[in-house]
A = this chain, B = another copy of it.
Amino acid sequence: MCRWLAYSGSPLLLEELLYKPQHSLIDQSLHATLGPHTTNGDGFGVGWYAEGEAPALYKGTDPAWNDRNLRELSQHIRSGLIFAHVRASTGTPIQQSNCHPFRHGKWLWMHNGQIAEFPKLKRELVMAVDPSLYPHIEGSADSEVFFFLALTFGLEENPPRAVERAVAFIEKIARDFGVPHPMRMSVAVSNGETVWAFRYASIGTPPSLFFSTRVGTLREQFPEVPAFQALSDEARLIVSEPLGERVGAWNEVPESTCGVVRTGEDELRPFCPTAAA
């Protein structure tokens, strides 16, 4: 069911995050320990903010552990805001247009989870996407439709509210179609300055989600990643699954929570899907 990683802080080479840590995201594509899938080999994607306002993307359908270009590029691409995702498909085809992160303008979006019985609900959900946004939907994945619903509900103005409204809408449509608890999600979204992360499920335990706070402990925990020694206190990692030992450097994001990472004070706030604007 996918693994992802979001980084915000001083610029790093991609390889510091994707390859060097002991239980890196690339390692998790083959040996994930949390979640239902050991293997997340149905494609991958990396997005990063650097030149200009729109983020760059590199996505592929090969298992991440095999992509030599990714390894090569990771030694040359440096950024202070990075999204990376390895995919385990929940049914939709393996193709680049179904890989995360998804991009719209300056926004990047990643999702781990599922909209239950998506084929049954898809038409209603897609029809609710704003007609001006609809032509930008490229693939067939539930995660992408979820993104475009969030955009429709005002992601560019107020991301937490927009995602709450999108989830409320999905839950309502699902109820109409006899699917009682459709949503399992950990989501990351960014506009290049702030990162918002969400953890929620309609019922039961949502997919795992962790964030790093004590950068000092991060440096201790990862002697094999020299670049971590240079991290500022502003540096934050948000991950589906910790990149190493969980003690100290990783804090679980509570269920039904939205985390906000920005310059200055971060926050955790309740996440309550409702339809109200």
Contact = CB atoms under 8 A, between A and B. Distances in A.
A39 B42 contact: no
Taken together, the copies of this chain in the complex come to 4
Interface string A75-107: 111000000000001000111110000000000
A82 to B, nearest CB: 13
Interface of A: 30-31, 38-39, 41-42, 50-51, 56-63, 66, 68-69, 72-73, 75-77, 89, 93-97, 119-120, 122-123, 126-127, 131, 134-135, 138-140
A38 B32 CA distance: 12
Contacts of A140: 97, 138-140
Contact of A127 (B42, B58, B68, B127): B127
A118 to B, nearest CB: 9
Contacts of A120: 135
7 contacts: A38-B39, A58-B72, A59-B69, A68-B93, A76-B77, A93-B97, A120-B135
A96 to B, nearest CB: 7
Nearest to A13: B51
Contacts of A131: 123
A203 B69 CA distance: 37
A95 B120 CA distance: 24
Contacts of A95: 93, 95-97
A59 B126 CA distance: 27
Contacts of A76: 50-51, 56, 77
Nearest to A129: B123
